[in-house]
Amino acid sequence: MTHFLRFTVFAPLASWGEPAVGEIRGSWDRPSRSAILGLLAAALGIVREDDSGHARLDSSLGFAVRLLAPGEPLIDYHTSQNPKAGLVKKRKPATRRIALSLGEPETTLSRRWLRQDALYLVALWLRSDASSTLDEIMTALRSPVFTLYAGRKANALGLPLAPSIIIAESLAEALRGNPVLPDELAVLCPREGWGVEVAHDSCDGFEARLTAGRSVTRRDATPVRSRWQFSDRTMYLGRIPSGPAA
């Protein structure tokens, strides 16, 4: 039997990141591992510059996310003005107002993908070298140090995360069941029913018991968060089998 920390993530608008090329800023259809680790770090009060704190958190946890409702894609045509990077690095302005006064700003155009009305169920478990307990993380999610958001600061969460610790024999059992939502959000359920696809890390010491799936490579491992550096990791995709709990 394994202890899992489980919580739901819903936001009217969310963005979960993809490799950014040129003006396109994509979004995966579900939270990446790095996005959830960032959310947990904010809850725990780990600042972005604390590379060792992020590394400890990363090594502490296994991660899985069930895609309950993928929502709909939305493209935001985005413009921003910023001073030249060389000037910012040299002058280190304290505020954006000062930064914009350094010289003629450069205009950046981008198309940013978001997800509308998507819903996810996340499960976490401790690894052997964990530096935090699930109870500590659950407490932080209920009373976070910093504001939590769905990928970008403008993307406020639409529901409380409602974290809880459960005991299950497998990952499939931990993520089984339908979400409990307010009546007005019942429309989020897809016509074919709640989704059962799960993206997850390797299961150490317990079984996944998902239907045979596949492995994919994603660039969302976070060796140095303060410099926004990401590296490849292997992720597994499977589906919760129908019928009684495995």
> Does residue 151 belong to any structural domain of this protein?
yes
pLDDT of residue 217: 81
How do residues 166-193 score in pLDDT, each as one tens digit?
A: 999 999 999 999 888 998 888 999 999 9
Whole domain around residue 59: which residue ranges? 2-73+116-239
Q: Report the C-alpha gap between 203 and 205 in whole angstroms.
A: 6
**Does residue 134 sit within a domain?**
yes
pLDDT at 232: 80
- The CATH number of the domain holding residue 23 is 3.30.70.2660
Q: Are strands 164-168 and 24-25 parallel, antiparallel or unpaired?
A: unpaired
pLDDT of the residue at 184: 87
CA-to-CA distance for 141 and 7, rounded, in angstroms?
9
Is 124 domain-assigned? Answer: yes
In a domain, 111, yes or no: no
Residue pointed to by tokens 């202890």: 3
Task: Give all strands (DSSP E) within the chain, no chain letters.
Answer: 2-14, 24-25, 61-69, 72-82, 106-126, 164-168, 197-200, 211-224, 229-239
pLDDT bracket for residue 103 (50, 70, 90): confident
**Within-domain flag for 184:** yes
For residue 13, is it within any domain?
Answer: yes
- Tell me if 122 is assigned to some domain: yes
pLDDT score recorded for residue 245: 47
User: Does 110 map to a domain?
Assistant: no
What confidence category does residue 55 fall into, taking pLDDT thresholds of 50, 70 and 90?
confident
Distance CA 60, CA 212 (A): 26
Most confident range, picked from 1-5, 23-27, 58-62: 1-5
Domains identified in the chain, total number: 1
Average pLDDT, the chain: 86
